[in-house]
């Protein structure tokens, strides 16, 4: 019984062990099955993740590639594609670079960077609701190949400090200065506030010969029969006994400065508005005098004989009225007053006719007579001959060899080495003439350049007579191109927008609208909202006290003025981000006005950059301490640079000041400088308060057209070009 019971207990224990082992085996089997299932799921997830990443890579590659195409949809576009095998991607674009910090040296490039965001997707083929995502961000930066093209009219202004494209009248009064390269399409009025003319002769002068004897009537008649249109015949006729001075004006170079004395040693100096070397036929030449400032300075030349002399002059008057009705052919005098003359041969006006006139001061009296029986005509050659004989008291005037007037003149001709003698005008000339030439002398002596115009000048021959051209070359020393001109200007619609883009497809920036009066403000670029610093106002805007502008201000509407009316105004152009492999510095205009840009009265403003106006650049009669300095370019329809108040008064009384100057320094003093004397003795001081000039470092000014992006694709490129800045794997889920 006991043995049997023990056997049954052993069998039961074995069953328990077997069941336990079976349980463990089942548990292990189930665990292994769980592990295998999890491993399989992980492998599937990893595979989908890899597929999603690969899709994201495909997406970012396609997204960047799309940006190179001409039809890229831009920042606001998206790109998506089903790659098959349960894979796809979606691409979006964001302006900027999220990893670029404000202290980074490349921070200014932020507006030109684009973050390409590509999200790749991979789906479970057995369970489409199960998917993996993977995000990659690539930052690319625009390779700037080209700026928007300048309109032809604005492109023509490149390199100019002043470019006036309109056909109206431009005004430039001292002491305002335009230096650098200047283009004037319309009429130029230069220092018109000053006494402009004295008694100038307008026309051609061929020969002036002076003899130390009185020629007889027959000899004068025979010479009169000789035409001046044959150089050799005329030379033979005039080369007679007693000739002491003979200015033939046969210089071949129009820029000649010396009028040779073929018979003596009194060479003349061409000054002012003269044009030597005019071919009049037969191998003969003449000098043109502009009727404003042209003359031949003979120094303190006196007659070779005070007792007997003959003066012969071949002349062709071109104007015998207005400022030229008393045109001096020869004048030795200290003033235009009759009594101020020692000897004069001129024209004069009486009624509707012009006649020859002579003045002579002798040891006994002063004589003035008009040959009112010898009417002169314009554009016709005439030989005027004056003879004097102190022994017989005969004073005669011949016209074309015919005696027209004879007077009795007692005494002998007076002489003085302290009085100037000129051909073509009355010493001491006009105040305008002496001032302009004095500024040129100062510049050439490196004593300061206060010329109103200096540098290369293109002057339209369509709207300016030769006199203005000669003023610029002869009196101011400008390098002149005097030619017919044709101009155009950009359309004002180009500045009418309210937004701008940096490049095709780029972010659209809203242009901030300023108030009609800007003062106590700083306007400058903002890298996120206004990277170029462009501002606008749809009407006339006044810039007043303590205003700083870095960028561009547009007065948009037709008729909109930009008025500078305060102090402490600082306006500076902003350098555009550089083009690829191009060291050129480009700037947009810093001021663009639908009509005028004005600087008024007590303004104190400095502008560094270009300004553009569809109307005038006008500097009004500023106060003596006012300042308007433009270092850059003015692109305008017309310019009106008026005199400061103190200089306006000086100009009004300029003839008085010239008389005082001549009396102070001496009539024949050619070294004293009229401009310096004015600066030293009057309230009108030389200061560069109103000046337009180019910067020392050359800039290229770029027109602003709001209807198109600032930067464009390169000429040889299909679309825009980009460079990779960085690549970021954001991982997947």
Claim to verify: residue 472 and residue 346 sit in the same structural domain: no
Bridge partners, residue 182, by sequence: 162, 457
Q: Would you give the DSSP letter of residue 338?
A: G
Compute the Cα dihedral for 677, 680, 683, 685 and give only its sign: positive
- In a domain, residue 6? The reply is no
- What confidence score (pLDDT) does residue 730 get? 80
Tokens, residue 144: 């700037």
Look-up of token digits 């308060």: 689
Average the pLDDT over 616-635 and give the result.
96
Q: How confident is the model at residue 691 (pLDDT cuts 50, 70, 90)?
A: very high
DSSP letters spanning 547-603: EEEESEEEE-STT--EEE-SSSEEEE--BPPPPTT----EE--SEEESS-EEE-TT-
Same domain, 327 and 353: yes
Q: Regarding predicted confidence, which is higher, 8 or 79?
A: 79
| Within-domain flag for 371 | yes
Residue-range definition of the domain harbouring residue 240: 202-429
pLDDT, average across residues 246-272: 97
Q: Considering only CA atoms, which of 82, 25, 35, 92 is closest in space to residue 55? A: 82
Same domain? For 60 and 85 the reply is yes
In a domain, 631, yes or no: yes
The model's pLDDT over 510-532, given as tens digits with 9 standing for 90+, comes to 999 999 999 999 999 999 999 99
264 and 316 both lie in a single domain? yes
Query: Which of 6-15, 331-340, 527-536 has the least mean pLDDT?
Result: 6-15
pLDDT the model gives residue 24: 59
Per the domain annotation, does 258 fall within a domain? Answer: yes
Distance CA 203, CA 315 (A): 7
Q: Is residue 31 very low, low, confident or very high in pLDDT (cuts 50, 70, 90)?
A: low
Q: In this structure, what CATH number is given to the domain that contains residue 393?
A: 2.60.120
The pLDDT confidence band at residue 733, using thresholds 50, 70 and 90, is low
640 with 542, same domain? Answer: yes
CB of 357 within 8 A of CB of 370? yes
Selection from 60, 53, 55, 58 nearest residue 727 by Cα: 60
* Percent of the chain as helix, strand, coil, to the nearest 5: 20, 35, 40
Check: CB of residue 732 under 8 Å from CB of residue 134.
yes
**Per-residue pLDDT for 67 more than 80?**
yes
- Of the candidates 406, 429, 452, which is a domain's last residue? 429
The distance between the two most distant Cα atoms of the chain, rounded to a whole number of Å, is: 199
Considering its fold, how many domains does the chain have in total?
3
Boundary (domain end) residue, out of 382, 404, 429: 429
Beta bridge partners of 564: 543, 599
Quick one: pLDDT at residue 344?
98
Q: What is the pLDDT of residue 41?
A: 54
Q: 99 falls in which pLDDT band (50, 70, 90)? A: very high
Q: Identify the band that residue 127 occupies on the pLDDT scale cut at 50, 70 and 90.
A: confident
Model confidence at 8: pLDDT above 60: no
Q: Are residues 387 and 511 in the same domain?
A: no
CA pair distance 360, 552, nearest whole angstrom:
67
Q: What's the Cα-to-Cα distance from 431 to each of 172, 338, 423, 478, 538, rounded to whole Å?
A: 16, 19, 18, 20, 46
Pair 382, 508 in one domain: no
- In this prediction, residues 369-388 reach a mean pLDDT of 97
The mean per-residue pLDDT over the stretch 248-262 comes to: 97
Does position 202 have pLDDT exceeding 70, yes or no?
yes
Question: Does 671 reside within a domain?
Answer: yes
Question: 22: pLDDT confidence band, cut at 50, 70 and 90?
Answer: low
The percentage of the chain sitting over the pLDDT mark of 70, rounded to a whole number, equals: 93
Task: Mark whether 539 and 593 lie in a shared domain.
Answer: yes
Does residue 287 carry a pLDDT above 80? Answer: yes
Query: For the chain, what percent of residues have pLDDT higher than 90?
Result: 88
Identify the pLDDT of residue 229: 86
Of the candidates 430, 429, 433, 444, the one whose C-alpha atom is nearest the C-alpha of residue 478 is: 444
pLDDT band for 567, please (50, 70, 90 cuts).
very high
Residue 30 has pLDDT above 60, yes or no: no
Domain shared by 186 and 280, yes or no: no
Sign of the C-alpha dihedral, residues 370, 376, 380, 382? negative
Average pLDDT, integer, range 99-114: 96
Same domain, 73 and 187: no
Question: What digits encode the pLDDT tens for the residues 626-683?
Answer: 999 999 999 999 999 999 999 999 999 999 999 999 999 999 998 999 999 999 999 9
Point out the domain boundary residue: 373, 397, 429: 429
Could you write out the three-class secondary structure of 218-274? HHHHHHHHCCCCCHHHHHHHHCCCCEEEEECCCCCCCCCCEECECCCCCCEEEECCE
286 contact partners, CB below 8 Å, separation of at least 6: 204, 205, 206, 249, 278, 280, 314, 316
CA distances to 454, 539, 561 from 707, in Å: 37, 19, 22
Q: H helices of 108-260, where?
A: 152-155, 217-225, 231-238
Residue 496 has pLDDT above 60, yes or no: yes
- Does 570 map to a domain? yes
Q: Are strands 268-271 and 295-297 parallel, antiparallel or unpaired?
A: antiparallel
- The per-residue pLDDT for range 293-331, each reduced to its tens digit, is 999 999 999 999 999 999 999 999 999 999 999 999 999
Tokens describing residue 453: 């115009």
Q: Is the pLDDT of residue 615 over 80?
A: yes
Residue 5 within any structural domain of the chain: no
Measured CA to CA, the distance from residue 573 to residue 105 in angstroms comes to: 21
Q: Is the pLDDT confidence value at 604 over 90?
A: yes
Q: Which of 125-139, 205-219, 440-454 has the lowest mean pLDDT?
A: 125-139
567 contact partners, CB below 8 Å, separation of at least 6 = 545, 546, 602, 603, 604
User: Which pLDDT does position 68 carry in this prediction?
Assistant: 96
List, for residues 142-182, the tens digit of each pLDDT value. 999 999 999 999 999 999 999 999 999 999 999 999 999 99
Which pLDDT value is given to residue 638? 98
The answer, as to whether pTM is greater than 0.85, is: yes
Q: Which pLDDT value is given to residue 45? A: 63
H or E segment and range at residue 137: strand 131-143
Per-residue pLDDT band at 47 (split at 50, 70, 90): confident
Asked if the model's pLDDT at residue 596 lies above 90, the reply is yes
Please check whether residues 49 and 137 belong to one and the same domain.
yes
Residue 348 CA to residue 360 CA, distance in Å, equals 16
- Indicate the pLDDT class of residue 692, thresholds 50, 70 and 90: very high
Phi, psi at 352, each rounded to 5°: -105, 15
Query: What pLDDT does residue 38 have?
Result: 54
What rounded mean pLDDT belongs to the chain? Answer: 94
Query: Domain for residue 11, yes or no?
Result: no
Give Cβ neighbours of residue 68 (< 8 Å, ≥ 6 apart). Answer: 718, 719, 720, 721, 722
Q: How far apart are CA 249 and CA 262, in angstroms?
A: 10
Q: Are residues 590 and 690 in the same domain?
A: yes
């Amino acid at each position: 019984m006991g043995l049997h019971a023990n056997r049954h207990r052993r069998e039961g224990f074995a069953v328990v062990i077997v069941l336990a082992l079976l349980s463990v085996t089942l548990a292990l089997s189930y665990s292994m099955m769980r592990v295998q299932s999890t491993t399989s799921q992980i492998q599937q997830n990893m595979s989908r993740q890899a597929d999603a990443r690969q899709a994201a890579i495909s997406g970012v590659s396609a997204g960047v590639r799309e940006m190179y195409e001409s039809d890229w949809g831009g920042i606001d576009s998206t790109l998506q594609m089903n790659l098959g095998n349960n894979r796809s991607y979606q691409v979006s674009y964001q302006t900027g670079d999220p990893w670029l910090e404000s202290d980074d040296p490349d921070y200014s490039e932020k507006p030109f960077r684009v973050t390409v965001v590509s999200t790749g997707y991979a789906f479970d083929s057995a369970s489409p609701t199960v998917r993996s995502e993977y995000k990659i961000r690539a930052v690319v930066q625009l390779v700037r190949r080209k700026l928007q093209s300048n309109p032809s009219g604005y492109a023509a202004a490149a390199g100019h400090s002043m470019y006036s494209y309109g056909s109206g009248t431009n005004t430039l009064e001292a002491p305002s200065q335009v230096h650098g390269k200047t283009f004037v399409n319309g009429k130029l009025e230069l220092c018109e506030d000053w006494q402009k003319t004295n008694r100038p002769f307008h026309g051609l002068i061929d020969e002036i010969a002076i003899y130390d004897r009185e020629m007889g009537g027959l000899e004068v008649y025979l010479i009169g029969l000789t035409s001046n249109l044959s150089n050799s015949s005329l030379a033979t006729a005039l080369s007679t006994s007693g000739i002491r001075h003979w200015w033939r004006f046969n210089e071949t170079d129009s820029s000649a400065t010396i009028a040779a004395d073929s018979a003596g040693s009194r060479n003349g100096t061409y000054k002012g508005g003269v044009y030597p070397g005019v071919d009049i036929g037969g191998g003969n030449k003449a000098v043109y005098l502009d009727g404003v400032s042209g003359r031949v300075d003979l120094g303190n030349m006196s007659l070779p004989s005070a007792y007997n002399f003959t003066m012969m002059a071949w002349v062709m008057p071109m104007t015998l009225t207005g400022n030229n009705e008393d045109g001096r052919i020869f004048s030795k005098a200290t003033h235009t007053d009759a009594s101020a003359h020692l000897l004069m041969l001129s024209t004069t006006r009486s009624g509707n006719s012009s006649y020859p006139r002579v003045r002579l001061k002798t040891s006994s009296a002063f004589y003035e007579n008009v040959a009112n029986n010898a009417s002169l005509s314009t554009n016709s050659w005439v030989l005027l001959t004056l003879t004097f004989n102190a022994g017989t008291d005969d004073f005669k005037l011949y016209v074309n060899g015919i005696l027209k007037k004879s007077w009795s003149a007692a005494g002998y001709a007076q002489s003085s080495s302290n009085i100037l003698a000129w051909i073509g005008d009355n010493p001491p000339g006009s105040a305008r003439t002496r001032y302009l030439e004095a500024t040129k002398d100062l510049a050439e002596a490196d004593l300061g350049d206060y010329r109103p115009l200096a540098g290369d000048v293109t002057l339209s021959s369509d709207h300016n007579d030769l006199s203005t051209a000669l003023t610029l070359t002869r009196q101011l020393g400008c390098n002149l191109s005097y030619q017919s001109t044709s101009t155009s200007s950009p359309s004002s619609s180009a500045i009418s927008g309210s937004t701008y883009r940096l490049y095709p497809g780029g972010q659209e920036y809203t242009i901030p609208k300023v108030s009609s009066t800007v003062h106590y403000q700083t306007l400058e670029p903002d890298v996120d909202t206004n990277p170029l610093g462009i501002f606008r106002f749809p009407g006339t805007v006044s810039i007043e006290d303590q205003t700083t502008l870095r960028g561009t201000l547009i007065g948009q509407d037709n008729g909109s003025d930009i008025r500078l009316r305060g102090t402490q105004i600082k306006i500076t152009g902003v350098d555009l981000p550089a083009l690829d492999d191009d060291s050129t510095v480009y700037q947009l205009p810093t001021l663009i006005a639908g009509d005028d840009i004005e600087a008024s009265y007590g303004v104190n403003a400095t502008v560094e950059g270009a300004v553009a106006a569809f109307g005038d650049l006008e500097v009004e009669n500023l106060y003596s301490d006012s300042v308007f300095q433009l270092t850059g370019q003015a692109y305008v329809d017309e310019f009106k640079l008026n005199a400061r108040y103190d200089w306006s008064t000086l100009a009004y009384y300029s003839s008085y000041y010239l008389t005082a100057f001549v009396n102070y320094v001496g009539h024949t003093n050619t070294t004293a400088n009229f401009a310096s004397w004015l600066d030293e003795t009057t309230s009108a001081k030389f200061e560069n308060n109103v000046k337009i000039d180019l910067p020392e470092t050359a800039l290229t000014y770029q027109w602003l057209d709001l209807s198109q992006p600032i930067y464009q694709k390169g000429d040889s490129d299909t679309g825009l070009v980009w460079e990779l800045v960085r690549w970021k794997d954001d991982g997947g889920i």
